[in-house]
Amino acid sequence: AEKAAVARGLGCDLVVDRRAEDVVAAVKEATGGRGADVIYDPVGGTAYAQSAKLVAFEGRIVVLGFASGTIPSPALNHALVKNYAILGLHWGLYNTKNPDLVRHCHEQLTELAAKGTIAPLVSERVPLEGAAAAVQRVADGVTTGRVVVLPTEANGA
């Protein structure tokens, strides 16, 4: 509920609390039954199953990871019947395969942030010694926005 409130406060058009609402029904209602054109799924498991139910005809499900710990086995006949694409995105692999693109994207995002076009939500700033606990909070799903780990000042630097 707290994360949903933050999203509403940031101006999101539709916010669905997956723990308190039926995600599929909410998205179908908001889209007039069409479903979502693009779904970003870093979770897998049940979230992927919901994604397959609410993806629009000719839509796309972009798979980024499996934070739930469950790797789904998509029903390819379903993708065929609804004519949607399942795309994998392993961003870290670009460091090896196309590092210039990583630099370019970083430059573009930095420029957008400097102009104020985007404003990443930073919910916490923690010292380096608090990094392990911060990572655990992210893994537990209790953080909202980004958690920034600050380097420890050494020798007055």
pLDDT, tens only, 105-150: 999 999 999 999 998 899 999 999 999 999 999 888 889 999 999 9
Domain boundary among 44, 69, 88: 88
- Number of Cβ within a 10 Å radius of residue 152: 9
Alpha carbon distance 27, 106 (integer Å): 32
Is residue 105 located within the same domain as residue 137? no
Average pLDDT (44-55) is: 94
Domain count, the chain: 3
Q: Domain residues for 45?
A: 1-88
Alpha carbon distance 62, 48 (integer Å): 10
For residues 32 and 119, the model is more confident at: 32
pLDDT of residue 140: 86
Helix or strand (DSSP H, E) at 62: strand 55-63
Is residue 98 located within the same domain as residue 71? no
Is residue 22 located within the same domain as residue 78? yes
Q: Which residues contact 65 (CB under 8 A, 6 or more apart)?
A: 42, 43, 44
Is residue 54 located within the same domain as residue 40? yes
pLDDT of residue 156: 52
Residue 25 predicted with pLDDT over 60: yes
Question: What's the angle, vertex CA 11, arms to CA 9 and CA 25, rounded to 5?
Answer: 100
Amino acid at 90: H
Alpha carbon distance 135, 147 (integer Å): 8
Is residue 10 located within the same domain as residue 67? yes
Residue 155 predicted with pLDDT over 60: no
Is residue 111 located within the same domain as residue 125? no
Q: pTM for the full model?
A: 0.80
Is residue 111 located within the same domain as residue 148? no
